[in-house]
Amino acid sequence: MLENVAIDASGAIVFFNKICIDGHSNGCFIRFVTHVHSDHTVNLSKSLLLCKHISGTPITLDLLDVLGYSIPKIKKLPLNYDQLLEFENIRIRLYYSDHIPGSAQVSVEKEGILLAYTGDFKNPGSKTVIIKEPHVLIIDATYGDPIYVREGEDIIWQKFVELVKKLLSQGSISMYAYYGKAHEVMMKLREYGIDAPFLLSHSHWKVHRVLERYGYRIQDVFPSGSRESEEVRKTGWFIEVNHISSAKNYRNTSFHIILTGRFAKTIYRLNSSNTWIVGISGHADFNDIIYYVDESKPHLLIVDASRSSYAEKFASIVEEQLGIKSMVMPKTIF
């Protein structure tokens, strides 16, 4: 089976030498993008030139368009969750993944051999679909070390909401977040009753407009620089939302919250300044990853080492605790 699976140093997952996922490999017929975060759009420009099709969920493909990847209509191949795609005796499906809007897992079957890749996920079983009994499962193990066991998600959200309420009582807030994560946070804050207007950076506004079409609706959201946003600024009471890459370019707002998307057990204040680091991760913690593997029961587990420094450790734990044959690809990353 290993001749049908590869992960190269750039992070491209390759199935049956024809399907490449979250990276480019020469000779691939279709390039799948599991979601729009940058470590999963690696070398997409090459795939646009050399692959016959670019595929992903409709949300992901529309987000790629507004984020600067111009996918020709003839190459664009949207695939809904659970929809079957067949070509050359290969059967492909995408499965729901709880990470950001549009995230997907990929399963590819040929001549009775089932290969699967999780991409990034959290909440397996309750939200993320668990792909059952593949011959080979490639799994994301960003937090594949037992030290990464998170506090209950509701508790983290409550602490975050309390911080936002406290800061808004004193002034405006600038938040810095990745695409998708920003919208999860905005929707959650509305659920908790926080009704301060959101002012979105240009790129987040484009993402917002796409997600609105898919039902992700949030009230009182305005693009930065618009007449409405300038009127809101005059009130001194708002939440400005920027991409995390601009976290060092602070504007003149009272407080700053950096949503790292990384694992954290608490909220950190930077050096008594007006900046806080909040880790609301979109990745499974160690227990969730183990649970996925245990429920999936693959014949062979391959841990993706191109996106995790804990791949070797996690593979060893799976073999020891679950008795499932495990290995790491690629071997030369860490």
Q: How confident is the model at residue 261 (pLDDT cuts 50, 70, 90)?
A: low
Residue 132 DSSP code: P
Angstrom distance (rounded) from CA 140 to CA 142: 6
- The pLDDT, as a whole number, for residue 269 is 76
- The pLDDT, as a whole number, for residue 157 is 86
% of the chain with per-residue pLDDT over 70: 95
What value does the mean pLDDT take over residues 6-23?
94
In this predicted structure, the answer to whether residue 268 has a pLDDT above a threshold of 80 is: no
Q: Which of residues 252 and 306 earns the better pLDDT score?
A: 306
At 179-192, the pLDDT tens digits run 999 999 999 999 99
Angstrom distance (rounded) from CA 189 to CA 157: 9
Domain ranges of the chain: 2-146+283-329, 153-278
In this predicted structure, the answer to whether residue 332 has a pLDDT above a threshold of 60 is: no
Exposure of 285 in the CB half-sphere (CA atoms within 13 A): 15
- The pLDDT, as a whole number, for residue 172 is 95
Q: Which of residues 152 and 211 earns the better pLDDT score?
A: 211
Buried b (16+ CB within 10 A) or exposed e, 196-210: bbbbbbebbbbbbeb
- The pLDDT, as a whole number, for residue 14 is 97
- The pLDDT, as a whole number, for residue 252 is 60
In this predicted structure, the answer to whether residue 27 has a pLDDT above a threshold of 60 is: yes
Exposure of 119 in the CB half-sphere (CA atoms within 13 A): 31
What value does the mean pLDDT take over residues 131-145?
95
Angstrom distance (rounded) from CA 61 to CA 138: 23
Q: How confident is the model at residue 266 (pLDDT cuts 50, 70, 90)?
A: low
Topology at the third CATH level for domain 2-146+283-329: Metallo-beta-lactamase; Chain A (3.60.15)
Angstrom distance (rounded) from CA 65 to CA 88: 28
Helix 202-213 to helix 181-191 angle, to the nearest 10 degrees?
70
- The pLDDT, as a whole number, for residue 216 is 94
pTM: 0.92
What value does the mean pLDDT take over residues 58-63?
98
The count of other CB atoms within 10 Å of the CB of residue 298 is 24
At 81-95, the pLDDT tens digits run 999 999 889 999 999
At 163-182, the pLDDT tens digits run 999 999 999 999 999 999 99
Of the candidate ranges 181-185, 214-218, 256-260, the one whose mean pLDDT is the lowest: 256-260
In this predicted structure, the answer to whether residue 110 has a pLDDT above a threshold of 50 is: yes
Angstrom distance (rounded) from CA 240 to CA 220: 12
Q: How confident is the model at residue 334 (pLDDT cuts 50, 70, 90)?
A: very low
Q: Are 286 and 146 contacting, i.e. CB atoms less than 8 angstroms apart?
A: yes
- The pLDDT, as a whole number, for residue 125 is 97
